[in-house]
Amino acid sequence: MLQVTPAEKAIAEAFVAARRAARPLNAYPGPMPADLARAYAIQEAAIRLRSGQLVGWKVGGVPPALQATLGAHRLAGAVFADSLWAAGEAPTLLPVIEGGFAAIEAEFVARIGPDVDLSRTEWTLEAAADQVETIFIGVELSGSPLSAINDLGPLAVASDFGNNLGLVIGPELTNWRERLDGIEVETVIDGVSVGRGGSLSLAGGALESVRFLLEHCARQSRPLRPGTLVSTGAVTGVHRVGAGSKSTCIFKGVGEIRCTTVPAAPPRG
């Protein structure tokens, strides 16, 4: 794992402080990382600064035009226990940083089973699928204090927790091996259908995200442990929202997850 430079540590500190204060950032807080390795070094520093129980990872896509340059087709960001919600009958309230970035993403969420090999660094798609204990339907609250984070690209995204603010876990997808690639998903925001898709909307499918993450985290000295959650990617697209938006992610034949975004409150005292 790479050691962070003083400039990289300052970037991590700025992102963590802005998230804690629910305060937007007007610009990237330092020099842009040179490559994904440096971006992940910043994220690792931020993970240590933030503290809290790390319970999972979100996986996002790298635009095709940048994949050869960056040497990756996906990227990862940490998810913490205090930003993990269980979907219920009432809409889940999702806190967003006003003036920052926030988006709703319908996703399939895999949970890693008890027999994962922590020392393995290379995985086939079939072997990765065998590590999955359960798959749930879910919603990622993508977000950052930095409004332009997606416009700045994957290096900025990877450095700030993968542009993640939290994860909503919905019902289990039973018989997922037979059903996963056939589930139709639709996202509706403020009464308007904004996207449709499914597992195969992701290059290689949702399980490719699991395979990628098993390798990535092992190489980052953070191997996926039993019970780790993997939010596999936005199957209907990335749908930007503001505070007060009402969304419904519909997983046909499985269930719906309803969410309402609310302004994030800075800590008192």
Question: Do 234 and 203 touch, CB atoms closer than 8 A?
Answer: no
What percent of the chain clears pLDDT 90, i.e. is strictly above it?
97
Domains of the chain: 6-263 (3.90.850.10)
Q: How confident is the model at residue 266 (pLDDT cuts 50, 70, 90)?
A: confident
> Over the stretch 56-91, which tens digit does the pLDDT of each residue have?
999 999 999 999 999 999 999 999 999 999 999 999
Work out the average pLDDT over 17-31: 97
Whether the pLDDT of residue 1 is over 90: the answer is no
For the range 5-13, what are the long-range contacts, defined as Cβ-Cβ under 8 Å and sequence gap of 24 or more?
Answer: 7/31, 8/33, 8/38, 8/41, 8/42, 8/45, 9/45, 11/42, 11/159, 12/42, 12/43, 12/45, 12/46, 12/49, 12/159, 13/49
Question: Do 58 and 77 touch, CB atoms closer than 8 A?
Answer: yes
Q: pTM here?
A: 0.96
What percent of the chain clears pLDDT 70, i.e. is strictly above it?
99
Q: Where are the alpha helices (DSSP H) in the chain?
A: 6-21, 36-50, 64-70, 125-129, 149-152, 154-159, 176-179, 206-219
How buried is residue 175: exposed, middle or buried, by Cβ count under 10 Å (0-12/13-18/19+)?
A: exposed
